[in-house]
Structure 1
């Protein structure tokens, strides 16, 4: 949930890819490398979220009786 005073940036609504017509092969390869780096960054953030969730679930789990 995002609140009005939340300092985090709001998630983007869809991608707006650039027009690729006229780009050279090196430019296209560089663009692909940037996209792959961004995917890796997002996947790392997902793993961090998962580890935080697991830690919270472990903390709040009821002890065995």
Structure 2
């Protein structure tokens, strides 16, 4: 079993927009889809947060 423990692990490369997907396996494609969905959710949360902050600031300045 030591033979397998000594083998270097394949490091996943980050996804690059527009890259050739032909060389990726089904598992790699599924993993990248999950990563991208998580990133989209993170971006949407940040966008919502910034929109709420912007609306609050606009409301504050309209009162003054």
Q: TM-score range by the shorter chain?
A: 0.5 to 0.7
Could you say which structure has the larger radius of gyration? 2
**2:46 maps to what in 1?**
45
Partner of 2:60: 59
As a proportion of its length, which structure holds more helix?
2
Aligned residues: 49
TM-score (norm 2): 0.65
In structure 1, how many angstroms separate the alpha carbons of the residues matched to 2:17 and 2:24? 17
Structure 2: stretches of 5+ with no match in the other structure: 1-15
Q: Tell me what 1:32 maps to.
A: 33
TM-score by length of 1: 0.64
Displaced runs of 4 or more, over 4 A = none
Q: How far off is 1:36 after superposition?
A: 0.5
